Chains A and B, each alone.
Chain A
Amino acid sequence: MKSIAVVGASLAGLRAAETLRAEGFDGVLHLVGDEVHRPYDRPPLSKQVLSGDWDVERVWLSADEKFDALNLTTHLGDAAVSFDAAALAVTLASGTVLDVDGVVITTGARTRTIGGPMPGVYTLRTLDDAQAIRAAFEKQPSRVVVIGAGFIGAEVAASARGLGLDVTMLEMAEAPFERSLGADMGAVLADVHRDHGVDLRLGVGCEAILGDEHVTGIRLTDGSEIETELVVVGIGVIPNVEWLDGSGLTIDNGVVCDTTSLAAPGVVAAGDVAQWHNGHFDETMRVEHWDNAITQAAHAAKRLLHGASVGPYEPVPWFWSDQYDRKIQLAGRTTDFDAFQIVDGDIESRKFAAIYGRNGVIVAVLGFNRPRHVMRYRGLIDMKTSWADALAAEF
């Protein structure tokens, strides 16, 4: 293989490029990105960047000299617009065509939003988004309305409260994080937000954004209205696959890969854009977590260079979310769990670890300020430990 294009210049793309070099690939290595910025880290955007604790300079993922040492041919601010998988040819917005021997797809995802563009209504995905919201916070809005209590919404709410701003947060489900944590644990998180002064409204969504020149409020699905000049929409993301129309790849909620991360001969995918069957959980998934972007990108890069011998990609997914003084971590999958047990601490103090089981096996662990337990139990999940043995384990 003489040339490889990594398409997507965020965390997964950078880690794929680093892995390709570390594994000895010394040919031409293209890095294509739609943003003009070199790769940066997204988790701080909804936390340290919004709160103003960090200068923007701290979000870069790789020191200049380390990035330069990768000897990449960068195409930043020049998005890929089409792809021919059979010919392994990537066409960029500028008209440049990259004819290569291998392609790593790491184009990630973009935010969903409500309605058309409207001043005062933001989503948060990029560095530019974060800086725009930070600037809006500094104007001391009378109220911040956050739509959606997932990762982004909950962290934006926490950051805004930390700055003393009034916050209303809406969530269509009956609890924040209901889908990933279950209703009971989601309710614990709801209480955390309420205790920090968030006006949390559950089971209700945004019907319409109000205003002409600038947002003036929103109308809720229950018919009521809230006045506000600042709305942050956090209702999830859509994988960036449109540039793959007509490419010959299979697209279904992302780029469909085999169990080894291969999407087509010479083509691998990783990160938020990749969908694959995780044999460990016997579940087809697309994982939007930071840690997965790293581990899947490394796996995909090795798959591209070394072939199927690298084996299937079967990780125990893990995420963390920092909200106020709570560190919430979940490892594994809670899908269709049929057993649940608090194994350390207690819910009242909001310092606890809980495990989830399915079909007699531990499948997930949740921690509120319990990182040590989360990682210990994650090891048990990795080994497909029986529910009984997981309950008996002491850490």
Chain B
Amino acid sequence: MSFKVVVDYDLCESNAICMQIAPDVFEVRDDDFLYLLTDTPEEDQRAKVEESVQRCPKQAIAIADDSEE
């Protein structure tokens, strides 16, 4: 089982909070841009990604609803 993570790069300001919470999913690199290491993480990452969604200062991260796929 996996789920889908979406980042709105127009909103993202690379605060890197998500990287600290879920380093297996989010990475801010030397160019100061955020990269998704996977956009379909395994289920065991869900709690961390949900916390990242909540704590993103720009509300730039979302978990896509399965029903939309």
| CB-based contact A291/B20 at 8 Å | no
Which of chain B's residues has its CB closest to A370's CB? B32
Which of chain B's residues has its CB closest to A331's CB? B20
Min Cβ gap B19→A in Å is 5
| CB-based contact A372/B29 at 8 Å | yes
Which residues of B from 7 to 62 have beta carbons under 8 Å from A? 13-17, 19-20, 28-30, 32, 54-55, 57, 59
Which of chain A's residues has its CB closest to B18's CB? A375
Contacts between the two chains (Cβ within 8 Å), count:
42
| CB-based contact B19/A372 at 8 Å | yes
Interface centre among A41, A61, A375, A378 (most CB of B within 10 A): A375
Chain A residues positioned under 8 Å from B30 (CB to CB): 372
Chain B residues touching A, majority SS: loop
Number of A interface residues, CB 8 Å?
22
Q: Among B13, B14, B54, which residue has its beta carbon within 8 angstroms of that of A15? A: B54
Q: Among B19, B28, B55, which residue has its beta carbon within 8 angstroms of that of A291? A: B55
22 pairs from A and B in contact (CB 8 Å cutoff): A15-B54, A41-B59, A61-B59, A291-B17, A291-B57, A294-B54, A295-B55, A327-B13, A327-B14, A369-B32, A371-B14, A371-B15, A371-B16, A371-B28, A372-B14, A372-B16, A372-B19, A372-B28, A372-B32, A374-B16, A375-B20, A379-B20
- The distance in angstroms between the C-alpha atoms of A363 and B20, with both chains bound, is 17
Chain A residues touching B, majority SS: helix
- The distance in angstroms between the C-alpha atoms of A15 and B30, with both chains bound, is 32
Chain A residues positioned under 8 Å from B54 (CB to CB): 15, 18, 294
Task: Tell me the A residues contacting B by CB distance below 8 Å.
Answer: 15, 18, 41, 43, 61, 290-291, 294-295, 318, 320, 322, 327, 329, 369-372, 374-375, 378-379
Interface size class of B (residues with CB under 8 A): 10 to 19
Min Cβ gap B13→A in Å is 7
- The distance in angstroms between the C-alpha atoms of A41 and B54, with both chains bound, is 13
Q: Among A322, A369, A370, A375, which residue has its beta carbon within 8 angstroms of that of B19? A: A375
Chain B residues positioned under 8 Å from A322 (CB to CB): 13
Q: Among A18, A43, A294, A375, which residue has its beta carbon within 8 angstroms of that of B16? A: A375
Min Cβ gap A332→B in Å is 13
Which of chain A's residues has its CB closest to B28's CB? A372
- The distance in angstroms between the C-alpha atoms of A327 and B17, with both chains bound, is 14
Chain A residues positioned under 8 Å from B28 (CB to CB): 371-372, 375
| CB-based contact B20/A320 at 8 Å | no
- The distance in angstroms between the C-alpha atoms of A108 and B57, with both chains bound, is 18
- The distance in angstroms between the C-alpha atoms of A43 and B58, with both chains bound, is 9
- The distance in angstroms between the C-alpha atoms of A144 and B32, with both chains bound, is 33
A320-B29 CB under 8 A given contacts A327-B13, A371-B16: no
Which of chain B's residues has its CB closest to A395's CB? B30
